[in-house]
Amino acid sequence: MQATEWDHRLAVRADGKNLVGHAGVVLLRRIADRVGLARALSAALPRGTGPGWRDRGMALVQLACAIALGATNVLEAEQFQYQWRSLFPRPVSDSTLRRTLQEIDDPVAARIERVRAAVRRMVWTLLALRPGGFPWISVCGRELTGWYVLDLDATIVTCTSKKEGAAGTFKGTFGHHPLGAWVANTRECAAMLLRPGNAAANDVADHKGVLAAALRGLPLPIWSKLLIRIDGAAFSHALLAHLQALTTSRRRVRWVTGWAINDTDEKAIARLPEHVWTLALRQDGDVHEIKGTDGEWISYQVAELTGVRDLNGWPEGMRLIVRRVKPSRRDAKKLTDFEKRTGWRYQIVATNIPAHQGLSGTPGSGQVWFVDALYRDHAEVEDRVKAIKRVGLGLLPSTSWQLNAAWVQAATLAADLDAWTRLLLLHDEPTLAAAEPETIRRKLYHLPARLTTHARRRTLHLDRTWPWANAPQLSGISAGQLGRFLGMLGVGVVAGSAAFDDALVDPATEFADQTAVSGGWKVQGVQDFAGLP
């Protein structure tokens, strides 16, 4: 019996019609349209009147969608769009995409940031309406209800060719050194600053600028509670004083930062009695332990250093929390003489969280073990950094500083669309909502499909056997939820109707002047950005 080869009588023909290579792009585009991003960008970006002129806002949205799907330059972005020609008949060419980026100077970039801020206001209101409400972070099993958490971190973007701003970095590599801010609650990138490769990790002016841009982009309620977390790059009198000054009569700001240990700190640690050390906890509330070289379990320990270490000249109310752990073999070469003598490796955290009051609404949040766990939870920002480097930031495509800065803007828009898709559409699909960029592309964004038209309706057909075929049905952001939101804004339209869709996608509709209060936010509709200065 002769075995039949798998390709027996198999023919390959390039005659398919209405095929869509990356059907998941409909999620990104519908999010952009439904929350008003596409129309708002069209009004904010420069306009032209010549023949063949392409809407710059729509071009930027198409570029952001392509970046979210994996494009690393404008040529790849154009090629990605050919996978969607059945959905969007006119792909934006790479030359048009390049001209769009060239037109994003500082004033236009500021307008784009204002667009993102207004759209994020709508997204956060929709989050309050979804099942489970707005996502509050939890530390040691305790939810920080009402606290918006902002994480700052820098990263290295390497390059092999000479580009404007590329220079030797503190890690011995060559490239750029951008600094960003992320909202821990929603995993959104609130601000991103492109910096030269030789920019200092603890540059105070850069941190102030990113903080200011992030605060402008967050739709915080009138009475807000903000927690800022930064690693050891915040170790400076000027930056800690600036963080302390962010508190106003309407905004309470708490911060937790790293601290560079010096001889003065080690002398203060040496004066701590042994009984003040207490067990450190993991994020789930269990005791934090590691297995030693002899197989014995060793606990992490924390203690209050505030009353022992002289803090004269530092912000009033600042506390120091010290943490110790038995060093590993990898840490042996980095130990100081004091650490070698005591047999412990030490880390210090600075904070202005009061010991007795803690974070309002979270019992026990002023305890040393909680502050230590709260700071270590900041390490999750590394995952956000890795994610955005896989969504456009990992490779700056041009030799021009201006084009690369504009590309960073497009990458943050792509990260926004990806984050909003996860938050609004995939909240009931936890494996997809928390998936890495490559994973969600493979499972959802890069799905093949076939487009059919019947009775003036277009239908996108996915493989019925695909495990995640139900995810693109937009079940998480139902018409009823959006209808309730528009109802609060005073818009009398029926969910699912044409007027309903028009009200969502047009930032200059009648609800632009309406306000509503939901979940503590004073919500305003997306404004008409054509009149922005």
Distance (Å, whole) CA 130 – CA 126: 6
Q: Report which of 416, 472, 453 is spatially closest to residue 87, judged by C-alpha positions.
A: 453
Between the alpha carbon of residue 324 and those of residues 262, 270, 289, 335, the distances in Å are 15, 12, 12, 12
pLDDT for res 394: 93
Decide if 63 contacts 80 (C-beta within 8 A). no
Does the structural domain 135-386 have CATH classification 3.30.160? no
The predicted-structure confidence for 437-446, as pLDDT tens digits, reads as follows 999 999 999 9
In the chain, the amino acid numbered 182 is W
The predicted-structure confidence for 372-410, as pLDDT tens digits, reads as follows 999 999 999 999 999 999 999 999 999 999 999 999 999
Q: Report which of 465, 468, 464 is spatially closest to residue 445, judged by C-alpha positions.
A: 468
pLDDT for res 514: 29
Decide if 372 contacts 280 (C-beta within 8 A). yes
Lowest-confidence pick of 128-132, 228-232, 358-362, 402-406: 128-132
Residue-wise DSSP of 421-444: HHHHHSTT-HHHHT--HHHHIIII
Whose tokens are 């390039």? That residue is 14
> At 480, is the pLDDT very low, low, confident or very high (cuts 50, 70, 90)?
very low
pLDDT for res 300: 87
Distance (Å, whole) CA 63 – CA 403: 14
pLDDT at residue 275 above 70? yes
Average pLDDT over residues 346-364: 93
Give percent of the chain with pLDDT exceeding 70: 86
Average pLDDT over residues 502-513: 34
Distance (Å, whole) CA 432 – CA 300: 34
Distance (Å, whole) CA 414 – CA 480: 27
Distance (Å, whole) CA 449 – CA 460: 6
Distance (Å, whole) CA 38 – CA 30: 10
Give the phi and the psi of residue 423 in degrees, each rounded to 5: -70, -45
pLDDT for res 270: 95
User: Which of the residue ranges 21-30, 52-61, 93-102 has the most confident prediction, judged by mean pLDDT?
Assistant: 93-102
> At 295, is the pLDDT very low, low, confident or very high (cuts 50, 70, 90)?
low
Average pLDDT over residues 264-283: 92
The predicted-structure confidence for 140-187, as pLDDT tens digits, reads as follows 989 999 999 999 999 999 998 889 999 999 999 999 999 999 999 999
Distance (Å, whole) CA 432 – CA 441: 10
In the chain, the amino acid numbered 304 is E
Average pLDDT over residues 411-431: 91
| Residues with Cβ within 8 Å of residue 369, at least 6 apart in sequence | 140, 278, 279, 280, 281, 302
Whose tokens are 């203060």? That residue is 268
The rounded mean pLDDT for the chain is 84
| Residues with Cβ within 8 Å of residue 336, at least 6 apart in sequence | 261, 266
Whose tokens are 């007027």? That residue is 499
Decide if 233 contacts 308 (C-beta within 8 A). no
Average pLDDT over residues 31-44: 90
pLDDT for res 1: 56
Distance (Å, whole) CA 131 – CA 140: 23
Average pLDDT over residues 186-213: 95
Torsional class of 394: left (φ above 0), alpha (ψ -120 to 50), beta (otherwise): alpha
The predicted-structure confidence for 1-20, as pLDDT tens digits, reads as follows 566 788 888 888 988 888 88
pLDDT for res 493: 27
Give percent of the chain with pLDDT exceeding 90: 57
∠ CA 264-266-270, nearest 5°, is 120
pLDDT for res 301: 92
Tokens of 307: 């009353």
pLDDT for res 293: 60
pLDDT at residue 522 above 90? no
pLDDT at residue 508 above 80? no
Decide if 364 contacts 141 (C-beta within 8 A). no
Beta bridge partners of 277: none
User: Which of the residue ranges 185-194, 455-464, 517-526 has the most confident prediction, judged by mean pLDDT?
Assistant: 185-194
Q: Report which of 59, 58, 46 is spatially closest to residue 111, judged by C-alpha positions.
A: 46
| Residues with Cβ within 8 Å of residue 23, at least 6 apart in sequence | 447, 448, 449, 460, 462, 472
* Residue spans in the chain of domains classed CATH 3.90.350: 135-386
| Residues with Cβ within 8 Å of residue 484, at least 6 apart in sequence | 129
Average pLDDT over residues 273-285: 88
Decide if 417 contacts 28 (C-beta within 8 A). yes
Who has greater pLDDT, 328 or 514?
A: 328
pLDDT for res 477: 41
pLDDT at residue 298 above 60? yes
The predicted-structure confidence for 38-82, as pLDDT tens digits, reads as follows 999 998 898 877 777 889 999 999 999 999 999 999 999 999 999
In the chain, the amino acid numbered 286 is D
Q: Report which of 477, 476, 387, 381 is spatially closest to residue 435, judged by C-alpha positions.
A: 387
In the chain, the amino acid numbered 377 is D
Question: What letter would DSSP give residue 205?
Answer: H
pLDDT at residue 521 above 50? no
pLDDT at residue 228 above 70? yes
Decide if 59 contacts 409 (C-beta within 8 A). no
> At 478, is the pLDDT very low, low, confident or very high (cuts 50, 70, 90)?
very low
Q: Report which of 259, 231, 160 is spatially closest to residue 376, judged by C-alpha positions.
A: 231
| Residues with Cβ within 8 Å of residue 128, at least 6 apart in sequence | 134, 518, 519, 521
